[in-house]
Amino acid sequence: MGCRGKESGDEEEGVMATDFFWSYTDEPHASRRKQILSQHPQIKQLFGPDPFAFPKIVAVVLVQLWTATFLCNSTWLKILTVSYFFGSFLNHNLFLAIHELSHNLAFSTPVYNRWLGIFANLPIGIPMSVTFQKYHLEHHRYQGVDGIDMDIPTLIEAKLVKNAFTKSIWVLLQLFFYALRPLFVKPKPPGMWEFINFTIQFALDIAMVYFWGWKALGYLILSTFVGGGMHPMAGHFISEHYVFKKPDQETFSYYGPLNMMTWDVGYHNEHHDFPRIPGNRLRKVKEIAGEYYDNLESYKSWSQVICIYIMDRTVGPFSRMKRSMSVSKFAKKSE
């Protein structure tokens, strides 16, 4: 399915690679989707919005904003503690709610999903919902394509992050890399919806500071970044597409308890195969078409994934599958 670049063809055991895995076939999900639907057409009945998405998002947003106001006079140590052990779970939940909304899985009308995404963005503190959708849909359509899939680390990241210490820093700051990478590799001009997202988000941020002080806003920002760093919930950033062993698989699912708090994003092979199915129905896909998923490598602990990523000397930012645009286009024309 894939092989290392020429620089690392003779890499020694226990030594980190110096190039990505390169695939000369298209991403596996479109073809597997066709196979599954031909054998299990009833899966189409799972397509469509999740009617519970709206109330779930509203509840989490209100709880998180109330918590921020409640902590406005607390010490920074207390704010940091509550951010890590409570707020991080809520804000990461909202980040993954925005992921769901980028696929229009709350409402049938796309614009309603976009407005709900801007609302879900509020406790995160930094405007990102509209921009995220632009790049995330390309991650699905052009998975692994060099220069287009912004989920893949840059060459600079890969060359700088070479040992347990630098990998630990990378994991702590991975949300910064995730957010800034597209601006340097494939910047896109902002449009009207980005302006709306920025305006509403900064209005909320200013209101939080004006009425409840910097600590209220600080709690929200801390909840976002500690939840996206060295945190169990953030393990999915690595588990989804990093290749720890042989490059015969490039997407990995997680079947553990944290799926209940993360919109079932752990069912990641199932999600890439069927992005029009909301997270709370993806387990049904696995039940119906188990013969396609049961033999795939998967995880049961996101914390373990983070530990492996940091401690395994052979794993790092280069542990990703890449393909050229010409390979992707040729494969799609051949379908």
pLDDT band at 6 (very low <50, low <70, confident <90, very high): very low
What pLDDT, on a 0 to 100 scale, did the predictor assign at position 3? 61
Could you tell me the strand order of the sheet in which 321-322 lies? 2-4, 21-23, 321-322
Query: Please, which residues bridge with residue 322 across strands?
Result: 22
Residue 312, token pair as written in the block:
């395994």
What pLDDT, on a 0 to 100 scale, did the predictor assign at position 178? 87
pLDDT band at 17 (very low <50, low <70, confident <90, very high): confident
Condensed to tens digits (0 to 9), the pLDDT of residues 226-272 reads 999 999 999 999 999 999 987 889 999 999 999 999 999 999 999 99
CA atoms of 218 and 200, how far apart (whole Å): 18
What pLDDT, on a 0 to 100 scale, did the predictor assign at position 90? 98
232 and 302 Cβ atoms separated by less than 8 Å? yes
Mean pLDDT over 68-85 rounds to 97
pLDDT at 53 over 80: yes
Mean pLDDT over 183-199 rounds to 94
Condensed to tens digits (0 to 9), the pLDDT of residues 107-116 reads 999 999 999 9
160: helix, strand or coil: helix
What pLDDT, on a 0 to 100 scale, did the predictor assign at position 183? 87
Q: For the residues of 74-126, what is the DSSP string, one character each?
A: S-HHHHHHHIIIIIHHHHHHHHHHHHHHHTT-S-SSHHHHHHHHHHHHGGG-S
What pLDDT, on a 0 to 100 scale, did the predictor assign at position 2? 62
